[in-house]
Amino acid sequence: MKMQFSKHSVLKGSERPAPQAKKLEKIDKKELMNVTVKLRAKKALPDLLNPEVYKNFTPLTHEDFAKEYGAAGSDINLVTSFAHHVGLSIVRSEPHKRTMELRGTVKQMEDAFKVDLANYKSDKGKTFRGREGAISIPNELAGIVEGIFGLDTRVIATPKFRMLKKKKTNGTVSYFPTDISKIYNFPANATGKSQNIAIIELGGGYTTSDLASYFSDMKLNPPNVVAVSVDGGSNSPSNPNSADGEVMLDIEVAGGIAPDANIVVYFALNNNKAFLDAINEAIQSTSFQPAVISISWGSAEGPAGGWSTSALNAFNEAFQSAAALGITVCAAAGDDGSEDNVNDRKVHVDFPASSPYVLACGGTFLSTNNDVVTNEVVWHDSNGGGATGGGVSDVFGLPSYQSNAGVDVSLNTGKPGRGVPDLAGDADPNSGYTIQVDGQTMTIGGTSAVAPMMAGLIARINQNNGKPAGFINPKLYADPSVCRDITQGDNITTHNKKGYTARPGWDACSGNGVPDGTKLMEALS
C-alpha cells in the first residue's frame, strides 16, 4: 500500500526556543542543506545501569551490535519513501548508527517537517540557521523517528579550557603531562601501545610542527595523530586564542600520558547535528575502533544550554551504545562552577558530562613538591579564573551506581538526580599544563585537561590489563578508595551563592576525588 504522508504530528522532545540573536529578513529558500534523522533501535539497548545486567554483560562487537541494536530495514525503507515523497535525497543510510542523512532545499525541509527556518546573526557576528518551536513528522513515522538534527545550526557547545591570563608568580606552576602521570601514580610500564584514543573537536586545529616540538621537549616521540572530517569540519588551526588551545591541550595531554597510543581527532562543526554525528562516527568506527573517547566541549543541560529533549536523548543513547561496545567516554564537567555559564541564579550541570554513561571529569588546584602532592583542593579561582563544574542533574535520574554515594538532591528541584562529576584532576590554570599552541608555549587549564588526562590513563590501563575498561562508573563507585578524597573548596559561582562544597566522600565538586592510576588499574583488572 502506498503511503500518503498527509497528516503530521509533533515530534516529541523537538521543541527549541527562539535563538537569542538578531533575526535576519531573508533566507534563501533554494539553499541546499542536510539533516540527520535518528531512528529507533530494533530492540532496547542493554541497560547497563541495572546492576544485574552490568554484572553479567560482555561488550558487544560492532557486528553484533549492528545486528541486534541497529535500525530495522523496514524503518529505513519507510523514511526513504517519505524522503522521495517530499523530494528529499538520501545522502546515506547507516543502520548501525540508526541514522539517515537527507538533503534538500530550505523550502523542501520546511514543507517536510512543518517548520519555519530563518537566518540569525549572533552578537559575535556569526550567521546561522535557526527555528522556534517543534518539528512535525508524518503520522506514519511516529515512534520510528526519534530526532531530526540539522534544521537548526546554532552553536551548541563551548570548549572547557582556560588559559592562564596573568604572568606566573610564586603561586602559579605548570606541569607537563609526564609530570602528572608520576604525581598521580599512573601505571609506570604502560605507554598506551596499540590503543586508539578518539578526541571530539568542534573547531580549531593542530600543526604537526607544534606536536613535534612539544613532544621533543618531553623527550618523547610524538604520537600518531589522524584527523577525520565530519560534516564539513576540518583541522583548521588559526591562532592561540581560538579553539586551537582546546585541540592542542587535548592532543598533547592525551598523547603525553599515552605517547604510544594512536590519537584520532574527529573535527566537526559546532552544532547539534555535527556534534552527534562526530560522536557516532567515533563510537561506531570499525576502522579505528577507539576504546576511549575524550570530549572537552559541552553546555548546560536542558533548554538553558540550548539542548532539546530529543537531542539529549540521542546523545545519551549514543553514550549507552558506547558502553555496550566496551568504550569509555570521558567528558569535561565545565569551567564555570555551579552556574555553568548560565545567568539565571539557578545551578546547572554540563552535558555531555551529566550523561550517566559518561565519566564526568571535574577539576582541582594542585600543589606538589618533587612529584609528591602537598595539597589539592577544588578548583575555584575567585579572581575570575574559573571553577570546576559539578552538581546534580535535572534531566537524568540518580543512577544505581551512585545510590550509596550520598549524592545531594538538586538545589533547583529538591529531587535526586545524576551527580556530577565522578572524579577530578588538576585543572586550575594556576597549576595548569605547559602546552604548545601555534608556535607559542603557554599554560592552560580547565576540566578540558582532565578528560584527555583520563583518556590517556584509560589507554594505559587497557594496555596493561589486556582488555578495554569500557563503562567504568559502576566499578569506580564500588571501590571509591581508588581515589584520593578532596575535602576542601567549593564551586559556588551563582549570584545568589547556590552551589556545592567539598566534603569527605563524594561531592559535587570533585566527585570521588583524584584517581590513583595504579589503584584504578587494579580495580578494573
Q: Which residue from 68, 70, 77, 71 is spatially nearest to 140, judged by alpha carbons? A: 77
Domain limit, last residue, from 95, 120, 149: 149
The owner of cell 543513547 is 317
> Per the structure block, which three cell numbers stand in for 94?
547507516
Last residue of a domain, one of 127, 149, 171: 149
* 131 and 204 fall within a common domain: no
Q: Angle CA(120)–CA(123)–CA(124) in degrees, nearest 5?
A: 100
Summary mean pLDDT of the chain: 95
Other C-beta atoms lying within 10 Å of the C-beta of residue 282: 28
Compute the average pLDDT of residues 481-497. 96
Could you report the per-residue pLDDT of 322-372, keeping only the tens digit for each? 999 999 999 999 999 999 999 999 999 999 999 999 999 999 999 999 999
Residue 71 · residue 59 · CB < 8 Å: no
- Confidence (pTM): 0.96
162 in the same domain as 143: no
Q: What 3-state DSSP class applies to 146? A: strand
**pLDDT at position 296 over 70:** yes
**DSSP state string for 307-351:** --HHHHHHHHHHHHHHHHTT-EEEEE--SBGGGTT--SSS---EE
Task: Decide which of 1 and 243 is more confident.
Answer: 243
Distance, in Å, from the CA atom of 424 to the CA atom of 484, rounded to the nearest integer, reads 10
Quickly count: other Cβ atoms within 10 Å of residue 372's Cβ.
Answer: 9
Is 2 domain-assigned?
no
d(CA 482, CA 525): 13
How confident is the model at residue 2, as a pLDDT? 63
Which residues, including other chains, have CB under 8 Å from residue 278's CB and lie 6 or more apart?
A: 200, 202, 230, 231, 233, 266, 267, 268
The pLDDT assigned to 167 comes to 63
Residue 231 lies in a domain: yes
Same domain, 130 and 248: no
Instruction: Judge if 443 and 332 occupy the same domain.
Output: yes
d(CA 463, CA 475): 18
- CA dist 475 and 519 (Å) reads 12
In terms of domains, do 163 and 33 share one?
Answer: no
Q: Are residues 169 and 106 in the same domain?
A: no
Instruction: Record the cell numbers describing residue 165, joined without a space.
Output: 591570563
Q: In whole angstroms, what is the distance from residue 69 CA to residue 50 CA?
A: 18
Q: Can you read off the three cell numbers belonging to residue 321?
A: 551504545
Task: Find the mean pLDDT for residues 148-160.
Answer: 95
Strand pairing partners for 335?
Answer: none
Q: What are the residues whose beta carbons fall under 8 Å from the beta carbon of 52, sequence distance 6 or more?
A: none
Percentage of residues of the chain with pLDDT beyond 70: 98
Please name every residue paired with 380 in a beta bridge, in sequence order, or none if there are none: 387
Last residue of a domain, one of 100, 116, 149: 149
Task: Tell me the CA distances in angstroms from 330 to 197, 200, 250, one per residue in order.
Answer: 11, 11, 12
Residues 396 and 351 in one domain: yes
Is residue 427 domain-resident? yes
Residue 1 resides in a domain? no
User: Is the four-CA dihedral 303, 429, 448, 464 of positive or negative sign?
Assistant: negative
Residue 289 reports pLDDT greater than 60: yes
Tell me what the mean pLDDT of segment 461-485 comes to. Answer: 97
Residue with cell 559575535: 124
pLDDT for residue 131 is more than 60: yes
For 72-100, b/e burial (b = at least 16 CB within 10 A) is beebbebbeebbebeebeeeebbbbbbbb
Known catalytic residues?
246, 250, 448
Distances (CA, A) of 303 to 300, 397, 478: 8, 17, 33
Question: Angle of helix 517-524 relative to helix 447-465, nearest 10 degrees?
Answer: 50
pLDDT tens, position by position, 417-427: 999 999 999 99
Identify whether 421 is preceded by a cis peptide bond (ω within 30 of 0): yes
Can you give the pLDDT at residue 5?
82
Please give the pLDDT value at position 168.
Answer: 58
Task: Say yes or no: 505 and 460 in one domain.
Answer: yes
User: Is 317 part of any domain?
Assistant: yes
Q: How confident is the model at residue 53 (pLDDT cuts 50, 70, 90)?
A: very high
Query: Are residues 338 and 362 located together in one domain of the fold?
Result: yes
Domain that holds residue 101: 8-149
Mean pLDDT of 233-258: 92
Residue 63 pLDDT: 97
Q: Is residue 159 within 8 Å of residue 270, measured between CB atoms? A: no
**DSSP category for residue 141:** G
Within 10 angstroms of residue 52's Cβ, the number of other Cβ atoms is 9
Q: Is 353 exposed, middle or buried (0-12, 13-18, 19+ CB in 10 A)?
A: buried
- Rounded-to-integer distance, Cα 409 and Cα 422, Å: 16
Write out the three cell numbers for 252. 598533547
Q: What is the DSSP letter of 481?
A: G
pLDDT in tens, 95-106: 999 999 999 999
Q: Mark whether 408 and 379 lie in a shared domain.
A: yes
Asked, for residue 3, whether it belongs to a domain, the answer is no
Strands 514-515 and 483-484: antiparallel
CB of 156 within 8 A of CB of 200?
A: no
449 found inside a domain: yes
H or E stretch covering 90 = strand 89-94
Q: How far apart are CA 457 and CA 524, in angstroms?
A: 12
Cβ pair 470, 196 in contact under 8 A: no
**Quick one: pLDDT band at residue 238, thresholds 50, 70, 90?**
confident
Radius of gyration of the chain measured on its C-alpha atoms: 22
Report DSSP letters for 162-176, one per residue: EE--SPP-TT-EEE-
- Say whether both 174 and 144 belong to one domain: no
Q: How many domains does the chain contain in total?
A: 2
Same domain, 227 and 186: yes
Residue 120 grid cell = 540569525
444: buried, middle or exposed (CB in 10 Å: 19+, 13-18, 0-12)? buried
Q: Give the tens place of pLDDT for each residue, 68-95.
A: 999 999 999 999 999 999 999 999 999 9
CATH of the domain at 322: 3.40.50.200
Question: CA 458 → CA 239, 435, 518, distances in Å?
Answer: 30, 21, 11
What's the pLDDT at 166?
Answer: 67
